[in-house]
């Protein structure tokens, strides 16, 4: 069973992710973003960062952006549990898609919300 997580920006749902990738010991999850509107693209993200003083790096020619922490970027599961760590960011490009990264999730919360990532990590050492 695949779980989808809702992604909000400024309390507006902008898409979903499966948070299908992880670094369990570091309390990190990340995954592809499926935006619910084509307006959420490189230009939108760049403008959002400029207006909200979010530090980012970019390659305008390839429409690539990599943001630093976006405080108003919120991820929730279907039970409305908040998935937050010390940083939530977006990276990617229009041509290849975008990814959300959540870094530094407290471990007891991580174990509760992502037991499949913890199990997979533990299986590497058996």
Contacts of 56 (CB under 8 A, 6+ apart): 45, 46, 49, 65, 66, 67, 68
State yes or no: pLDDT of 35 exceeds 60.
Answer: yes
* pTM confidence score: 0.92
Average pLDDT, the chain: 95
User: Nearest to residue 100, comparing CAs of 51, 47, 53, 40?
Assistant: 40
State the average pLDDT over residues 72-98.
Answer: 94
Q: What is the pLDDT of residue 84?
A: 86
What does the pLDDT average to over 43-71?
A: 98
Paired residues of 38 in beta bridges: none
Dihedral angle of Cα 116, 121, 123, 125, to the nearest 10 degrees: -170
The average pLDDT across 31-52 equals 97
Percent of the residues in the chain that have a pLDDT greater than 90, as a whole number: 91
Interstrand relation of 21-23 and 12-17 (parallel, antiparallel or unpaired): unpaired
Q: In terms of Cα–Cα distance, which of 63, 62, 2 is closest to 32?
A: 2
Q: How confident is the model at residue 1 (pLDDT cuts 50, 70, 90)?
A: low
Q: Give the pLDDT score at 24.
A: 94
What's the whole-number mean pLDDT along residues 68-86?
94
At 2, is the pLDDT very low, low, confident or very high (cuts 50, 70, 90)? Answer: confident
Mean pLDDT, to the nearest integer, of 9-27?
Answer: 96
């Amino acid at each position: 069973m695949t779980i989808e997580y809702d992604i909000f920006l400024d309390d507006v749902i902008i898409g979903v992710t499966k948070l299908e990738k992880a670094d369990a010991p570091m309390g990190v999850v990340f995954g592809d973003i499926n935006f619910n509107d084509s307006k959420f693209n490189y230009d939108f993200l760049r403008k959002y960062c400029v207006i909200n003083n979010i530090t980012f790096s970019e390659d305008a020619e390839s429409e690539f952006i990599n943001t630093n922490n976006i405080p108003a970027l919120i991820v929730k599961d279907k039970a409305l549990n908040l998935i937050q760590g010390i940083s939530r960011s977006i990276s990617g490009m229009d041509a290849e898609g975008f990814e959300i990264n959540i870094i530094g999730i407290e471990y007891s919360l991580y174990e509760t919300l992502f037991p499949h990532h913890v199990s997979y990590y533990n299986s590497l050492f058996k």
